[in-house]
């Protein structure tokens, strides 16, 4: 049995976070002392560990709660899935490191990289993630038909949507506000119009990826601090509204 301070130190999270998890029903202590202090049992530690695993993968607290409270949830199978994802991430990281090393070599030795080589790792990763999906195939098919003007328009539309969302985020407008959700819907329609049929469920999955994948997150962070999470939350709110 662990009191809250000891568990916080063990899990390397704050006592305040554990209080919050208790308040929202995500990780509740099995018991309390006579003085009212929270006491956590082994099963509580296992649930907290899984919460932290899912947080590491970029999921928000509400989706995590839905996963863990699902009657069909199987902890062993979920851990195997986490392991597969982490192994895939490690492989992608190794590929990216090799590409960075090659780029550094080209700079230091004055040997330019071939265009296809410069972007090979990104193409491989995209295929690894989505290559078997209809969305990937449709996106690849459409992309081949676009010229310079179309790509300029696509980029301008995407930048405008991001800028408008950033403006709302800076102004303190909640991601669940109708204005933010309307922009999230414009974002979905942009993908649907230019790349592939994007359902609201699929769009919500993309929103989670914008937070989980550092490259997406960092691009949004350049526009406004916390923008990746704000966009994700607006997308999820819009999907729920629909």
Same domain for 147 and 126: no
Each residue's pLDDT tens digit in the chain (242 positions)? 889 999 999 999 999 999 999 999 999 999 998 888 999 999 999 999 999 988 877 778 888 888 888 888 888 888 888 788 777 777 767 766 776 777 777 777 777 766 555 555 555 555 555 555 676 678 778 888 888 888 888 888 988 998 999 999 999 999 999 999 999 999 999 988 988 888 888 888 888 878 877 767 777 888 888 898 999 999 999 988 85
Q: In this predicted structure, what is the pLDDT of residue 179?
A: 95
Residue 186: predicted pLDDT? 94
Query: What are the DSSP E strand ranges found in the chain?
Result: 2-3, 31-32, 38-40
Total structural domains within the chain = 3
Which of 69, 84, 105 is a domain's end point?
69
Residues 92 and 13 grouped into a single domain: no
Whole-model pTM: value is 0.49
CB 58, CB 211: distance < 8 Å = yes
CATH of the domain at 191: 1.10.490.50
CB 177 within 8 Å of CB 164: no
Whole domain around residue 94: which residue ranges? 74-130
Sheet holding 2-3, edge to edge: 2-3, 38-40, 31-32
Which is it for strands 31-32 and 38-40: parallel, antiparallel or unpaired? antiparallel
Give yes or no: residues 104 and 205 share one domain: no
> In sequence order, what are the residues at sequence separation of 6 or more whose Cβ sits closer than 8 angstroms to the Cβ of residue 142?
194, 195, 196
């Amino acid at each position: 049995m662990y009191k809250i301070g000891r568990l916080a130190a063990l899990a390397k999270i704050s006592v305040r976070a554990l209080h919050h998890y208790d308040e929202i029903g995500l990780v509740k202590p099995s018991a309390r002392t006579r003085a009212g202090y929270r006491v956590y049992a082994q099963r509580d530690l296992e649930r907290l560990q899984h919460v932290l695993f899912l947080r590491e993968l970029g999921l928000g607290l509400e989706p995590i709660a839905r996963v863990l409270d699902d009657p069909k949830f199987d902890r062993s199978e979920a851990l195997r899935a986490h392991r597969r994802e982490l192994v895939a991430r490690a492989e992608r990281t190794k590929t990216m490191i090799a590409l960075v090393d090659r780029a550094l070599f080209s700079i230091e030795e004055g040997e330019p990289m071939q265009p296809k080589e410069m972007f090979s790792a990104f193409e491989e990763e995209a295929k690894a993630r989505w290559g078997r999906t209809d969305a990937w195939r449709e996106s690849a098919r459409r992309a081949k038909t676009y010229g310079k003007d179309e790509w300029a328009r696509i980029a301008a539309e995407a930048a405008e949507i991001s800028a408008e969302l950033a403006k709302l985020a800076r102004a303190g407008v909640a991601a669940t506000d109708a204005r933010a959700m309307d922009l999230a819907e414009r974002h979905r329609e942009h993908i649907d119009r230019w790349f592939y049929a994007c359902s609201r469920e699929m769009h919500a999955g993309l929103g989670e990826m914008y937070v989980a994948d550092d490259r997406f997150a960092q691009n949004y962070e350049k526009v406004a601090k916390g923008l990746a999470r704000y966009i994700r939350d607006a997308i999820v709110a819009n999907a729920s509204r629909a």
